[in-house]
Amino acid sequence: MALQETQDIAYRCNKCGLCISTCPVYQQLLMEEASPRGKVQLAKHFFEGNLDLSKRFKEILMTCLLCETCMVNCPSGVQHDQIFADLRSQLVKKYGVGWKKRLLYLLLTNEKLLHSSSVFAKLGRNWLLEKFAKGMRVGNIPVGRLPTLNSKPFRDRFDGVILPEGEVKERVFYFTGCFTNYFGEDVGQAVVNVLKKMQLAIEIPSSQDCCGISMILSGEEELPLKNVEKNIAMLTREDIDAVLVDCATCGAAFKKEYISLLEKKGKDTKGAELLKEKTYDIQEYIADRIHLLPFRENGAGKRIRVTYHDPCHLIRAQGVHDAPRRILKALPQVEYVEMEGADTCCGGGGSFQFDYPEVSKGITDEKINHIRETGASILVTGCPGCRVTIGGNMDETDQIQVLHPIQLVDMVLAEDSETSNT
- With CB under 8 A as the contact rule, the residue among 3, 11, 226, 294 that binds other proteins is 11
Query: According to the binding rule CB under 8 A, does residue 70 interact with other proteins?
Result: no
- With CB under 8 A as the contact rule, the residue among 42, 232, 386, 390 that binds other proteins is 42
Query: According to the binding rule CB under 8 A, does residue 33 interact with other proteins?
Result: yes
- With CB under 8 A as the contact rule, the residue among 3, 5, 14, 365 that binds other proteins is 14
Strands in 334-336's sheet, in edge-to-edge order, are: 334-336, 304-308, 378-380, 401-403
d(CA 219, CA 90): 7
Count of C-beta atoms within a 10 Å radius of residue 85: 21
Query: According to the binding rule CB under 8 A, does residue 36 interact with other proteins?
Result: no
Q: Tell me 155's DSSP state.
A: G
Nearer to other proteins, 294 or 319 (CB): 319
- With CB under 8 A as the contact rule, the residue among 1, 5, 6, 15 that binds other proteins is 15
d(CA 380, CA 413): 16
Nearer to other proteins, 1 or 30 (CB): 30
Measured from the CB of residue 42, what is the shortest distance to other proteins in angstroms? 6
Is residue 61 a contact partner of residue 39, using CB atoms and an 8 Å limit? yes
d(CA 144, CA 160): 35
- With CB under 8 A as the contact rule, the residue among 4, 49, 75, 422 that binds other proteins is 75
d(CA 403, CA 386): 10
Query: According to the binding rule CB under 8 A, does residue 30 interact with other proteins?
Result: yes
Measured from the CB of residue 45, what is the shortest distance to other proteins in angstroms? 6
Query: According to the binding rule CB under 8 A, does residue 294 interact with other proteins?
Result: no
Query: According to the binding rule CB under 8 A, does residue 32 interact with other proteins?
Result: yes
- Of 4-12, 165-173, 312-320, 407-415, the segment contacting other proteins by CB under 8 A is 4-12
Query: According to the binding rule CB under 8 A, does residue 31 interact with other proteins?
Result: yes
Query: According to the binding rule CB under 8 A, does residue 72 interact with other proteins?
Result: no
Measured from the CB of residue 340, what is the shortest distance to other proteins in angstroms? 10
266, 271, 277, 280 alpha-carbon torsion, rounded to 10° = -100
Mapped onto helix, strand or coil, the DSSP state of residue 356 is coil
Query: According to the binding rule CB under 8 A, does residue 56 interact with other proteins?
Result: yes
Query: According to the binding rule CB under 8 A, does residue 20 interact with other proteins?
Result: yes
Query: According to the binding rule CB under 8 A, does residue 16 interact with other proteins?
Result: yes
Query: According to the binding rule CB under 8 A, does residue 182 interact with other proteins?
Result: no
Nearer to other proteins, 55 or 131 (CB): 55
Query: According to the binding rule CB under 8 A, does residue 94 interact with other proteins?
Result: no
User: Nearest-CA neighbor of 60 among 390, 359, 361?
Assistant: 359
Is residue 176 a contact partner of residue 208, using CB atoms and an 8 Å limit? yes
Query: According to the binding rule CB under 8 A, does residue 163 interact with other proteins?
Result: no
- Of 20-28, 107-115, 261-269, 281-289, the segment contacting other proteins by CB under 8 A is 20-28
Query: According to the binding rule CB under 8 A, does residue 18 interact with other proteins?
Result: yes
- With CB under 8 A as the contact rule, the residue among 3, 5, 54, 134 that binds other proteins is 54
d(CA 136, CA 92): 30
Residue 279: its H or E element? strand 279-281
d(CA 203, CA 192): 10
Spell out the SS3 assignment of 294-327.
CCCCCCCCCCEEEEECCCHHHHCCCCCCHHHHHH
User: Residue 90: how many CA atoms within 13 Å on its side-chain side?
Assistant: 19
Count the residues of the shown chain that bind other proteins, applying the rule CB under 8 A. 29
- Of 51-59, 80-88, 155-163, 405-413, the segment contacting other proteins by CB under 8 A is 51-59
Compute CA distances 293 → 198, 332, 418, whole Å: 6, 12, 15
Query: According to the binding rule CB under 8 A, does residue 390 interact with other proteins?
Result: no
d(CA 328, CA 338): 11
Is residue 201 a contact partner of residue 172, using CB atoms and an 8 Å limit? yes
User: Nearest-CA neighbor of 70 among 13, 8, 6?
Assistant: 13
Is residue 241 a contact partner of residue 280, using CB atoms and an 8 Å limit? no
- Of 31-39, 196-204, 322-330, 408-416, the segment contacting other proteins by CB under 8 A is 31-39
Residues at the site binding other proteins, with contacts judged by CB under 8 A: 8, 11-12, 14-18, 20-22, 30-33, 35, 38, 41-42, 45, 51, 54, 56-57, 60, 74-77
